[in-house]
Amino acid sequence: MLLDAPILIWIKPSRETRPWMQTQQLRKEDLSKSIKVHKNVELDIDLGSLLASDHNVFDTKALKSNPNSYLKDLTRDNVQLLINKIWELPVERVDEAIVAKLPKPNYTLPRSRVIPKPKPLTKWQQFAKEKGIRSKKKDRSKLKWDEELKKWIPTYGYKRVKAQEQKEWLIEAKGNASLTDDPFAKAKTAKQERQSKNELQRLRNIAKSKNIKLPRVGLPTREHFSSSQQFSEALTIARTSTASIGKFQSRLPKEKDAKGIAKEVIGMKRKRKAPPLNVIEEKRRNKNLVDSILKSNTKIVRDDYSTGIAEIKQSTTSGSKKRKGALKANKSKTAKKPKAGKGKRDLHKKVGGRKRR
């Protein structure tokens, strides 16, 4: 006879199963913790920065006894309070996801480095911005259909180059082309020139962004030779830097030496000025000379020079007379010629004079 009532069987847990059941019960308690967290001091929460600042005092006993579990529980409670505040914000669903719009941050976080400056525009980007040209790279697809090859080929990359080689395996020669011209070699050199031009432009853009002045191709910068006078000076110095001081160096047609450079070049002859043609020209030259002397930065050696000019002249004249007298006395002492004995020569004494042989 079968009974419809259920039969309850009680199993007494053994010592081996008790620890396992305790751990399972603790896990259920951890998972089923309440979302409500009690704090003595409320947290300062900045939802814009997703920042929660806890000003409560630590439980020193729990921290010393089991620091890992205490810090883990404390972090969990603080994060729970932050999540509760986020759920209070207005929420909307976007593509099967719940999104909450955060407010503006209130807490200003300090930066370890300076705010990065925006990269300067390249020459082409600046031109495109002025003309309103938009790039079509975003709208461009990676693959395109080729009618000749009857397959999809990439728009860029090494596979595109291989597809282009398969497509252009034969190039039709132009009517005016010579028989020795190689169109494949021409295309290769043209591509290399374009690549080098792009690389040069890239380096120029880098130099422009860092305010570096680069010389033009094959020519020095304007700062080095800013005028024709400096260029002629450099040319004259280079020509006269030989052992012959440029005497045997060939000159360019209508080439002239730079003006005012004879002082700098050793051995270069200065051109003498022609004598004045009349009295007016001579007067003008003398006036210019006096003006150049007066305009120059003069240094006063003696302040009493203007008051005692007569005394200085007298001292100079008397000093010159004394010098002349001293020179005459020295000449009288040293400039005498040896005299002969006039027949009274003593053979036992040595007498100066020329030896006769």
pTM of the model: 0.30
> Quick check: is 32 in a domain?
yes
pLDDT at 193: 93
pLDDT at 225: 46
Residue identified by tokens 């000025």 is: 273
Rounded CA gap, 7 and 48, in Å?
59
Contact yes or no for 64/124 (Cβ under 8 A)? no
Domain boundary among 270, 299, 314: 270
> Quick check: is 168 in a domain?
no
With a CB cutoff of 8 Å and minimum separation 6, the contacts of 284 are: none
pLDDT in tens, 32-47: 567 788 888 888 999 8
Low-confidence ranges of the chain (pLDDT < 70): 1-33, 137-139, 215-226, 262-264, 266-271, 296-357
> Quick check: is 131 in a domain?
no
Longest dimension (CA), the chain: 194
> Quick check: is 331 in a domain?
no
Residue 117 DSSP one-character state = P
pLDDT at 6: 40
pLDDT at 9: 36
Rounded CA gap, 222 and 326, in Å?
65
Residue 269 DSSP one-character state = P
Q: How many domains are contained in the chain?
A: 2
Residue 32 DSSP one-character state = T
pLDDT at 274: 81
pLDDT at 8: 37
pLDDT in tens, 286-327: 998 888 888 766 555 555 555 555 555 555 555 555 565 655
Task: Looking at 250-308, list the stretches that DSSP marks H as alpha helix, in order from N- to C-terminal side.
Answer: 279-295
Among the listed residues 234, 229, 200, the one whose alpha carbon sits nearest the alpha carbon of residue 217 = 200
> Quick check: is 51 in a domain?
yes
> Quick check: is 260 in a domain?
yes
Residue identified by tokens 């295309």 is: 187
The domain in which residue 258 lies consists of 215-270
**Would you tell me how many other CB atoms lie within 10 Å of the CB of residue 167?**
12
> Quick check: is 43 in a domain?
yes
> Quick check: is 52 in a domain?
yes
Rounded CA gap, 301 and 286, in Å?
25
Domain boundary among 74, 100, 126: 100
pLDDT at 28: 55
DSSP string for residues in 332-354? HHH-PPPPP-TT---TTS---S-
Six token digits for residue 296? 């120059």
**Would you tell me how many other CB atoms lie within 10 Å of the CB of residue 41?**
9
Domain boundary among 252, 270, 288: 270
